[in-house]
Amino acid sequence: MASILATAALQQGTCVVPERAPRQLTAVLWSPTKSGRKKHNNNINVSFNIAAWNVRTLLDNDNNLCPERKTALIVRELSRYNIDIAAISETHLADSGKLCEEMGGYTYYWMGKPASDKAASGVGFAIRNSIARSLIESPKGINDRLMSLRLHISPRKHLHLVSVYAPTMTTSDEDKYQFYENLREVLQKIPACDKVILLGDFNARVGTEYIAWKNVLGKHGVGKCNTNGLALLTLCSEFDLSITNTFFRLPNKYKTSWMHPRSGHWHLLDYIIVRRQDLRDVLITRAMRGAQGWTDHRLIRSRMRLNYKPPRRAEHKVPARLAFAKLVHDEATQDKLDAEFDVLMSSTDDSTSVNTKWCAYARALYSVSQQVIGKPQKKNEDWFDDSDVELRQLVESFRLALRGVTSVGQRRSIQQDLKVKIRELKDSWWRRKAEDLQLLADTSQTAKFFEGLKSVYGPRAIKTAPVYS
């Protein structure tokens, strides 16, 4: 009786998740490092496990040999493998709906054919309840073979998951063409800055030709390519996607997902696909042979760690820095500030808002400080500062020549004379510096010698060589 009631609730979608205030997915999926120490960078790291599983069916009937409800059995296996979000395919559920397995800890979302049609195909998601309650947007069903889920990772970053159940080899070419056209439309609507994950049963064999499909296939594919695999590879190449199953060196038993019933050969049909630049976020993708769901497909699990940079702050104009060292025992600044504030206070009354008073105070303080203190003098090269008076006179004369009405030949002559004089002053400074350092070396004053070298060349820059991850 309980099985019949559960099946009726599943088909009607009457079991719902209680609504709660939306939260960011980062707070749900983020897990601290093993050491427990706070990271110095401000990057946002999100670690979670996703999976793709062809469950064959989620319906319960008297002819089914499964000893318990299929939905409860699936979520028990997902919980055992610590899956946060799973794309389930071939659900055989009609229309669209949502079912919460409170005891199992997961919520089902599905999209299938109309109830009047024969039960076939169907896709969906099985999402952990803690994540399902924090969803800002519910999964969106496109048709009985495509369903998308948009997750908010950070204020301006999103993660798009697309659950896929592709047509089999025996399906007509028109249906295959229509499926890939619908998938192209879904990918074209996703912004280029967002992350994309395609996962599900693609019913395609992609083979091992990684040289021909560079950055799409890895070096560890399985079997030979067929027509469905060629269509999938073409789509991945068009949108710069990578099939993660082929990028990890594992035995074939940890890569294949389905066994042919007649030949007994194992093939790779279920994939987890990401953008090429997001391949570094994938820690491993493999088949879980121990998952028991009364299906002929293995569970494909992928461990991921998404790394997001925090959004930049809005650019705003920063006032010029002042020479605050002059404030020490400076009575002129205090007198001018008192006079300016006397005028300011006389022009404001009690009816003026606090923001207006603060803006007037800040403007008066900065304007008076700029008049009295002034801006700090720019630090130039040592050879320039040592000959500051003479060089500034030469530069000022050249600027006057540029502003004045002079011919091109005269300006070039003045500029050439300036360059010659600057070169002479620079050479003489280096010569004096070298003589001083040589004297320190000859008199065995090692500490002052290296101190002088550091003042000339500056501190030693420590560089780290980049390592490809």
pLDDT surpassing 80 at residue 197? yes
pLDDT band at 36 (very low <50, low <70, confident <90, very high): very low
How far is Cα 108 from Cα 86, in angstroms, rounded to an integer? 10
Average pLDDT in the 238-248 region? 96
Nearest to 337 by CA among 320, 355, 362: 362
How far is Cα 353 from Cα 366, in angstroms, rounded to an integer? 20
What's the pLDDT score for residue 157? 82
What's the pLDDT score for residue 460? 67
What's the pLDDT score for residue 2? 40
Which residues touch 59 (CB under 8 Å, ≥6 apart)? 7, 10, 11, 70, 92, 93, 119
What's the pLDDT score for residue 469? 53
Mean confidence (pLDDT) of the chain: 82
pLDDT surpassing 50 at residue 392? yes
Please tell me which of 64-78, 265-279, 379-393 the model is most confident about, judged by mean pLDDT: 265-279
Average pLDDT in the 361-390 region? 68
Average pLDDT in the 55-83 region? 89
DSSP per-residue letters across 162-193:
EEEE---TTS-HHHHHHHHHHHHHHHHTS-TT
How far is Cα 94 from Cα 111, in angstroms, rounded to an integer? 7
What's the pLDDT score for residue 193? 87
pLDDT surpassing 50 at residue 276? yes
pLDDT digits (tens, 9 = 90+) for 153-195: 877 789 999 999 999 999 999 999 999 999 999 999 999 989 9
pLDDT-wise least confident of 58-67, 305-314, 421-430: 305-314
SS3 content of the chain, % helix, strand, coil (to 5): 40, 20, 40
Of 380 and 330, the structure prediction assigns the larger pLDDT to 330
pLDDT band at 376 (very low <50, low <70, confident <90, very high): low
pLDDT band at 342 (very low <50, low <70, confident <90, very high): confident
Of 386 and 174, the structure prediction assigns the larger pLDDT to 174
What's the pLDDT score for residue 381? 57
Judged on CB neighbours under 10 Å (0-12, 13-18, 19+), 314 is exposed
User: How far apart, in Å, are the Cα atoms of 446 and each of 59, 169, 333, 451?
Assistant: 86, 81, 46, 8
Helical ranges in 373-442 per DSSP H: 382-386, 388-403, 408-442
What's the pLDDT score for residue 462? 63
Of 388 and 182, the structure prediction assigns the larger pLDDT to 182
pLDDT surpassing 80 at residue 461? no
**Among all chains, which residue has been given the structure tokens 């002479």?**
424
Instruction: Report the percentage of the chain scoring pLDDT > 70.
Output: 76
**Among all chains, which residue has been given the structure tokens 């009295």?**
372
Q: Is the whole model's pTM more than 0.85, yes or no?
A: no
pLDDT band at 426 (very low <50, low <70, confident <90, very high): confident
Edge to edge, what strands does the sheet with 157-165 contain?
140-143, 146-154, 157-165, 195-201, 270-275, 241-243
What's the pLDDT score for residue 387? 59
Average pLDDT in the 63-76 region? 87
**Among all chains, which residue has been given the structure tokens 């560079």?**
214
Count of CA atoms in the C-beta half-sphere (13 A) of 38: 2
Q: Domains plus CATH for the chain?
A: 2-308 (3.60.10.10), 324-372 (no CATH), 382-457 (no CATH)
pLDDT-wise least confident of 28-32, 198-202, 270-274: 28-32
How far is Cα 122 from Cα 112, in angstroms, rounded to an integer? 4
What is the Rg, in whole angstroms, of the alpha carbon atoms belonging to the chain?
A: 35
Average pLDDT in the 125-144 region? 94
pLDDT surpassing 60 at residue 302? yes
What's the pLDDT score for residue 100? 94
pLDDT-wise least confident of 127-141, 157-171, 317-331: 317-331
pLDDT surpassing 80 at residue 55? yes
